[in-house]
Amino acid sequence: MLQLQAIREDKEQIVEALKKRNIEALPLIESVLQLDEKRRSLQARLDNTLAESNSISKEIGQLYKSGKAAEANVLKERTGSLKEESKDLNEALTATATELQNLLYQIPNVPHSSVPAGNTEEDNEEVFREGDIPTLKEGALPHWELAKKYDIIDFELGVKIAGAGFPVYKGKGARLQRALISYFLDKNAAAGYNEIQVPHLVNEASGYGTGQLPDKEGQMYHVGEDDLYLIPTAEVPVTNIFRDVILSESDFPITHTAYTPCFRREAGSYGAHVRGLNRLHQFDKVEIVRVEHPTKSYEALDGMVEHVKNILRELKLPYRILRLCGGDLGFTSALTFDFEVFSTAQDRWLEISSVSNFETFQANRLKLRYKDENGKSQLAHTLNGSSLALPRVLAGILENYQTEDGIQIPEVLIPYTGFDKIS
C-alpha cells in the first residue's frame, strides 16, 4: 500500500510511474486525496469537539464546587449536544477512513525506475542467460509422458482423488521431490537463511498484509466456515510474522526460508502449456524472505538473484533471467526478476522463480517498522523469492536429463535421493 504522505507530496510522479503498468491512476489518486482531506477535516472537528467537551466538563466541576449549580446545569446541556456531535463525527470518520483504506488497496506498487515499459510477458527484458541447452535424441518425451513411462507421477490418480492439478508422486518421483525440498532448504540455510515452519492456512489480515487480498482473492482457496485461506506461497505466513512489529536497526537483515505446499486456483487454463507439471493447483515450493533496511534492500535483491543462480548452476539446468516489464509486474512488487528454465522436450521456457523487492508497499500494510538512529519510526523493506518452486524444476530435470535407458539424476541431488537414475 502506498503511503498517503507520498501520494500527497509526489502525486504527479506516482501517476506518471504507474503508467508503466498501463494504468491511468489520476482519477483514483484524486479520489484518495479528496477522501484524505475529508478524513483530516473530520478528525480536526472531532478533536475540537472532544477538547471543548473536556473543557466544559472541568468547568462544570468547578461551578458545582463554587455552589453555582444553575450555571453548571446549563453547561451540562451543552455537553450533551457535544457528545451527540462527537458520536456522529466519529461514525463519519470511521466510514471515511474505511472508504479511504479500500481505495488505497486498489493502487498497485510504484515500479522501480529500472522496470521497462511494456504490456505483456512478451515485453519482459532478458538480462542474463546461462547453461547449454542439451540436444535430445529423436523421440524425446515431455515430462508428463516420462512420468507415465517410469510410473513416478500419476496425474489421473490425482484427478480421481481431488481433481485436475493435484498430481500424486510415486516411488522415485516422490523421493526426487523430497530430495529437491531438502536440497533447496540446505542451500538456503548455508546462505544464512533461518529455516522455519509456518501454518498453511492464514487469516484475512495476513492476506491483506502481504497484498494477496483483495487483489488475488479469486485465486485463493477459502475455507468459509473458519474464514481462513490456503496459502498461495510461504511468503504470506513468513512475512506476516512481522505484522505490527517495531524493529531496531540492529535487527537487520532478517532472513527466513520455509518449505510449504502452495494452493492456487488457475481458472480457465487449458492446452499443452498447462499440461503435466506446468501449472498446478497444489505444488511444493521453498521460499526465501528478507526484511531489510531501506538503504540495503536492492543490494539484498542482487544477492538473492545470485543465490538462485548458484542453485541452478549446481543443478546444471539451462536458465535465463527476465526483468519484468510494467504490464507483467506483480501488484505488490517494485521490481521483479523471473528465472526460467529451458524445457528441451517442450522447446519452451518455464518460470521457476520470481525474486522481488516490495520496498515499503507490504510494510505499510503490515505496519512493519523500525526505529532509526533518531528514534523515529520508519517503514522497513520486504523482499521474497522462490528458491525454488518444484514442479517446473522437476519437469526440467526429467526432460533435460532423459536418456535412452532412463533419467539421470543431477549429481548434486544423488546424496539426497540415494539413487542416480530413474529407469
* Annotated binding residue 266: yes
φ and ψ at 193, to 5 degrees?
-85, 135
* Annotated binding residue 122: no
Q: Pick the catalytic residue: 333, 343, 354, 386?
A: 354
279 is catalytic: yes
290 is catalytic: no
* Annotated binding residue 233: yes
264 is catalytic: yes
Structural element, H or E, at residue 185: helix 171-190
Q: Degrees (nearest 5) of the Cα angle 346, 402, 420? A: 140
One-character DSSP codes across 307-336: HHHHHHHHHT--EEEEEPPTTTS-TT-SEE
Cα–Cα distance for residue pair 37/89, rounded to 1 Å: 15
* Annotated binding residue 387: no
320 is catalytic: no
* Annotated binding residue 194: no
* Annotated binding residue 354: yes
Neighbours of 227 (CB within 10 A): 9
Which cell goes with 96? 471515511
Within 8 A by CB and 6+ apart from 121, the residues are 324, 325, 328
Structural contact between residues 192 and 212, judged by C-beta atoms closer than 8 angstroms: no
Cα–Cα distance for residue pair 287/249, rounded to 1 Å: 24
Which cell goes with 252? 537487520
* Annotated binding residue 384: yes
| Residue 348 bridge partners (DSSP) | 343
In terms of Cβ atoms closer than 10 Å to its own Cβ (0-12, 13-18, 19+), residue 376 is exposed
* Annotated binding residue 241: no
- H-state helical runs in 191-231: 204-210
What is the dihedral sign for C-alpha 204, 209, 215, 221?
negative
Q: Pick the catalytic residue: 86, 333, 392, 399?
A: 392
351 is catalytic: yes
Whole-angstrom CA distances from 75 to 10, 11, 58 are 47, 46, 11
* Annotated binding residue 275: no
* Annotated binding residue 129: no
Q: Pick the catalytic residue: 39, 264, 365, 369?
A: 264
Q: Pick the catalytic residue: 279, 290, 323, 365?
A: 279
Per the annotation, binding residues for L-serine are 233, 264, 287, 384
List residues forming the annotated binding site for ATP.
264-266, 351-354
Write out the catalytic residue numbers.
264, 279, 351, 354, 392
Which residues are annotated binding-site positions?
233, 264-266, 287, 351-354, 384
